[in-house]
């Protein structure tokens, strides 16, 4: 092949425009690049979780939830861009690695983002949003030529991204308290925006469909945060006195993570949402409290194991862990009701919602009781096991188990 042809091929490979809206890839699966991209969020979330592990209190949870919301918004932006507009080419690889570089720096400031390093975190986060704004703008330019029916939706999204960059950048120069308030309103604004888009004429599913790759991507992110449970147990056992009671408490706590996995993937994992805007938005948004609850539970296990010899679990630790389980179960109701299977197998999912509410209430009762750490973990495991057996029995009766 002549050198000029090779040169043109490389140039086209590195400068090919993103896929426009509506240019779906049939049978697409999650790529190795996306898996690599998701790994950087492990570092960001792990660093952010240190804050709540060291500040087991209502305030600590609220501060962590605000920072986690920002991280989740970043992941959704990066993931949806790859889902809708990424290619297997040099340009996509380059922009993903740029994002990963920025996110790696974000992880450095994530542990103390609610306090000492909030300004640095805001500046780096604004930089990430600026990169994403440029990427979404390149999609808008592509739509302007090839898919004008998506032009309004894409234009509104780009405008929203520009506002987001400005808001986060301004927050860097605010005191800690007002900065956290701005971040909280920022995350809530994204949630409200997605909800409103789902009910607009164009709808959130304009160009976005519940593909297998999208379902797989949300499942993989859930697996990533499940790793925080393992990190929490390891951190707890590493920093506590190693003896039979401590190890037993840690191993029982680890089973809570296993229970989350069984509940999520057998009830809602690998099952696509209904192909309408409201269901798709509910399915997507419900993963924010689900992943937040799993990460919080992992962070709470550090304190649980550290107090393994206490006759009663400290109030903050008990409420944090049991509250995380309760929140995750309630969020699963929204996820389940947005599935296509919720209509096909209503005999399964209707009673399942009631069971999840009951399980959530039972988890809160356990937190209120504050038994010994090992017993608190064991009771939460028992709740998850009972829920799983109830769900599976309903699936088997309806011939809906796979």
pLDDT reported for residue 249? 96
Per-residue pLDDT band for 213 (boundaries 50, 70, 90) equals confident
What local confidence, expressed as pLDDT, does residue 55 receive? 85
pTM for this structure? 0.92
Q: Where are the alpha helices (DSSP H) in 307-340?
A: 315-337
Encode pLDDT of 344-392 as tens digits: 888 888 999 999 999 999 999 999 999 999 999 999 999 999 999 999 9
Q: Are 311 and 375 in contact (CB under 8 A)?
A: no
Rounded Cα distance, 322 and 297, in Å: 8
Percent of the chain whose predicted confidence (pLDDT) is above 70? 89
> What would the pLDDT profile of 3-59 be if each residue is shown by its tens digit?
566 666 666 766 777 777 666 776 778 888 888 999 999 999 999 998 888 888 899
> DSSP character for 201?
S
CA distances from 332 to 59, 205, 275, 326, 381 (A): 25, 21, 19, 10, 17
What residue segments make up the domains of the chain, in order of their start? Answer: 30-198, 212-397
pLDDT of res. 200: 63
Cβ atoms 139, 156 nearer than 8 A:
no
**Residues 81, 12 contacting (CB under 8 angstroms):** no
Ranking 141-150, 262-271, 318-327 by mean pLDDT, the lowest is 141-150
């Amino acid at each position: 092949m002549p050198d000029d042809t090779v040169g043109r091929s490389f140039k086209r490979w590195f400068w090919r425009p993103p896929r426009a809206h509506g240019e779906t890839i049939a049978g697409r699966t999650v790529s190795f690049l996306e898996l690599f991209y998701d790994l950087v969020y492990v570092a960001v979330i792990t660093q952010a979780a240190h804050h709540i592990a060291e500040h087991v209190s209502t305030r600590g949870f609220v501060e962590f939830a605000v920072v986690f919301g920002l991280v989740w918004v970043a992941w959704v932006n990066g993931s949806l861009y790859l889902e809708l507009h990424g290619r297997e080419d040099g340009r996509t690889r380059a922009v993903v690695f740029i994002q990963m570089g920025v996110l790696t720096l974000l992880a450095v400031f994530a542990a103390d983002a609610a306090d000492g390093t909030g300004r640095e975190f805001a500046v780096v986060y604004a930089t990430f949003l600026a990169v994403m704004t440029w990427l979404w703008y390149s999609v808008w330019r592509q739509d302007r030529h090839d898919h004008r029916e998506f032009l309004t939706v894409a234009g509104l999204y780009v405008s929203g991204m520009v506002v987001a960059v400005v808001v986060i950048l301004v927050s860097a120069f605010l005191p800690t308290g007002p900065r956290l308030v701005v971040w909280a309103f920022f995350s809530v604004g994204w949630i409200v925006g997605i909800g409103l888009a789902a009910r607009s004429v164009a709808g959130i599913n304009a160009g976005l469909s519940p593909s297998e790759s999208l379902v797989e991507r949300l499942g993989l992110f859930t697996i990533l945060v499940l790793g925080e449970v393992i990190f929490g147990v390891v951190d707890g056992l590493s920093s506590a006195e190693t003896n039979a009671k401590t190890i037993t408490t840690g191993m029982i706590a680890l089973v809570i993570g296993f229970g989350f996995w069984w509940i999520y993937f057998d009830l809602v994992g690998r099952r696509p949402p209904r192909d309408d805007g409201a269901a798709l938005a509910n399915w997507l948004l419900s993963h924010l409290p689900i992943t937040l609850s799993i990460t919080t539970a992992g962070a709470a296990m550090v304190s649980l194991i550290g107090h393994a010899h206490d006759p009663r679990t400290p109030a903050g630790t008990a409420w944090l862990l049991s509250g995380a389980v309760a929140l995750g179960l309630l969020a699963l109701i929204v996820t389940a009701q947005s599935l296509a299977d919720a209509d096909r197998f209503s005999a399964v999912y209707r009673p399942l919602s009631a069971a999840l509410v009951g399980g959530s209430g039972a988890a809160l009762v356990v937190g209120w009781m504050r038994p010994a750490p090992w017993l608190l973990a064991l009771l939460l495991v028992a709740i998850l096991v009972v829920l799983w057996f109830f769900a599976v029995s309903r699936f088997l009766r309806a011939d809906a188990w796979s």
